[in-house]
Amino acid sequence: MKQKPIYLDYNATTPIDLEVIDAMTPFLKEHFGNPSSSHYFGQNTISNFI
């Protein structure tokens, strides 16, 4: 019987929980500005985050 490989490089990347994906999707698609910036995109992001 062939065993499934074990992934040990969690410093490179990790699986993302579906609940986290759902919570982050708006920020990846719509509110992508740097929230530390003073321009419109950054301010729009931080106002939707808080």
User: Which pLDDT score is estimated for 7?
Assistant: 85
Three-class DSSP labels, the chain:
CCCCCCCCCCCCCCCCCHHHHHHHHHHHHCCCCCCCCCCHHHHHHHHHHC
Burial 27-45 (b: 16+ CB within 10 A, else e): eeeebebebeeeeeebeeb
User: Which pLDDT score is estimated for 42?
Assistant: 82
User: What are the tens digits of pLDDT across the range 1-50?
Assistant: 789 998 888 888 888 999 999 998 988 888 778 888 888 888 888 887 76
User: Which pLDDT score is estimated for 21?
Assistant: 94
pTM of the model: 0.55
User: Which pLDDT score is estimated for 50?
Assistant: 66
Residue range(s) defining the domain that contains residue 47: 1-50
Count of the separate structural domains present in the chain: 1
Q: What are phi and psi of 23, to 5 degrees?
A: -70, -35
User: Which pLDDT score is estimated for 11?
Assistant: 87
